[in-house]
Amino acid sequence: MRETSRRALPRARRLREHDHHMTSYISPARLPAFLKWLVLALVALTLCSLPMASNAQDASSAASSQEPAVNQAPTPPSPTTVVATVAGQQITEADLAFAAEDLGPDLNQIPPDQIRAVLLSQMIDLKLMAAAGHAANLENSDLYKARISYLEDRALRRAYTKQVVSDVITPDAIKAEYDKEIAAMPAVDEIHARHILVTTEDDAKAIKAQLDGGADFAALAKEKSIEPGAKTSGGDLGFFTQDKMVKPFADAAFALKVNEISQPVQTQFGWHVIQVLERRPAAKPTLEAMTQQIGQQLYVKKYREIFDNLRKASTIDIADPELKKQVETQLGIGQ
């Protein structure tokens, strides 16, 4: 169950401990700030590389193409395709890709059918304001020159990381990592269970007695359970693995035999009476389901390797000891 769900009203599905695949997932929250940025930057780098790469796609979409697809994605437009003209200046698909790169994770907040309009609007703003700055002869200002130096470094960094990181995360590399993770993944069971959730232990004991006396589980769940979804589901939780539920519930459920009904079990949601309906080996996640996650893991690993080698071969002087310590923490040095 997601952490936020635990604070919400109890619902059957909210028993789930974590909504994730059974893999070594690299969560941004667990990374130092340096690596958090890298994971988030994948969004921008992917959008930038799609229209600009003629011989390679980003790792995620390339690996996904290995899986059968009902509908083939349309061919990306050429980066030189003109989208609009502003005061005689052309705006191309490459410009939209660069605008997407600047927006980065903020693109997630934009409805998909409006993304191109937002990017083009940003480019129109950029062209008009830049033309005004040119007319004001701002190219000769100290601020402009300092910013150009920074932007040149940033552009070179992005081009380099695309070449030595993004472009080497091939479908074959992702498949190899997937095979390794799947091989290391232990075989686990999943169960199909249902439950009745009530407020007090006495209520749960009374329900257990009724069930032992032959009462219909689904009908009793619809009538007695305080979990709103039970009125339509009859308390049915479907199939789940042990790690997907809060521990007291999971421990009790997985200790049951098929068709066995538990004694009352207490969790933060109340008191449960559980019945297991089926048990089977859990299917392992597919390559398609894990492609994006593995692509992120490989990206972070490869970037970290290259950055650490460059850092170790360079001299970095920071006069302020406290600032130096903070920077080393941000860069994950020594972790």
The full 3-state SS of the chain, as one line of letters, equals CCHHHHCCCCCHHHHECCCCCCCCCCCHHHCCHHHHHHHHHHHHHHHHHHHHCCCCCCHHHHHHCCCCCCCCCCCCCCCCCEEEEECCEEEEHHHHHHHHHHHHHHHHHCCHHHHHHHHHHHHHHHHHHHHHHHHCCHHHCHHHHHHHHHHHHHHHHHHHHHHHCHHHCCHHHHHHHHHHHHHHCCCCEEEEEEEEEECCHHHHHHHHHHHHCCCCHHHHHHHHCCCCCHHHHCCEEEEEEHHHECHHHHHHHHCCCCCCECCCEEECCEEEEEEEEEEEECCCCCHHHHHHHHHHHHHHHHHHHHHHHHHHCCCCCCCCHHHHHHHHHHCCCCC
- 98-115: b (≥16 Cβ within 10 Å) or e: bbbbebbeebeeeeeeeb
pLDDT of residue 43: 39
Tokens representing 174? 């992702």
pLDDT of residue 303: 95
Q: What CATH number belongs to 186-281? A: 3.10.50.40
**With 80 as the cut, is the pLDDT of residue 31 above it?**
no
Looking only at the bridges linking them, the beta strands covering 270-281 and 236-241 are: unpaired
Q: What is the mean pLDDT of residues 38-42?
A: 42
> Model confidence over 143-185: pLDDT tens digits?
999 999 999 999 999 999 999 999 999 999 999 999 999 999 9
> Model confidence over 202-256: pLDDT tens digits?
999 999 999 999 999 999 999 999 999 999 999 999 999 999 999 999 999 999 9
Helices 142-164 and 287-312: crossing angle, nearest 10°? 120
**With 90 as the cut, is the pLDDT of residue 296 above it?**
yes
Q: Are 37 and 29 in contact (CB under 8 A)?
A: no
Weakest-pLDDT range from 98-107, 116-125, 168-177: 98-107
User: Is this model's pTM higher than 0.75 or not?
Assistant: no
The better pLDDT of the pair 271, 32 is held by 271
Q: Is the dihedral of CA 136, 140, 143, 146 positive or negative?
A: positive
pLDDT of residue 332: 79
Q: What is the mean pLDDT of residues 278-291?
A: 95
Alpha-carbon separation of residue 236 from 12, 192, 315 (angstroms) = 8, 8, 62
DSSP bridge pairs for 278? 192
Weakest-pLDDT range from 43-52, 88-97, 267-276: 43-52
Q: What is the mean pLDDT of the chain?
A: 82
**With 90 as the cut, is the pLDDT of residue 193 above it?**
yes
Q: Tell me how far the alpha carbon of residue 54 is from its chain's centroid.
A: 27
pLDDT of residue 104: 85
* The Cα angle at residue 196 between residues 276 and 266, in degrees rounded to 5: 90
Which residues, including other chains, have CB under 8 Å from residue 130's CB and lie 6 or more apart?
Answer: none
pLDDT of residue 175: 97
Q: Where are the domains of the chain?
A: 30-66+75-181+293-330, 186-281
